[in-house]
Amino acid sequence: MEVSVTTSIGVAAYGVHGTQPNHLIDQADQAMYQAKLAGRDGVCVAGARTTLPDQML
């Protein structure tokens, strides 16, 4: 049986996107959903307008 797995990652940096844990989690969560919307296997940084394709990781 073959199983295919993909991942979408959202990134928020302490001090850049906030200093409170809940705010950082919210920022990373929003970035993750942006990565999901852009397609599979992507990374999105909070506040960025583009995602990084998996080939760049």
Per-residue model confidence as pLDDT tens digits over 19-48: 999 999 999 999 999 999 988 889 999 988
| Residue 56 vs residues 8, 11, 42, 51: alpha-carbon distances, Å | 14, 15, 9, 10
Amino acid making up residue 9: I
- The CA-based diameter of the chain, rounded to the nearest angstrom, is 45
In Å, what is the CA distance from 31 to each residue of 34, 45, 49, 55, 57?
A: 5, 6, 10, 19, 16
Q: What's the pLDDT score for residue 20?
A: 96
pTM, to two decimals? 0.78
CB 12 within 8 A of CB 35: no
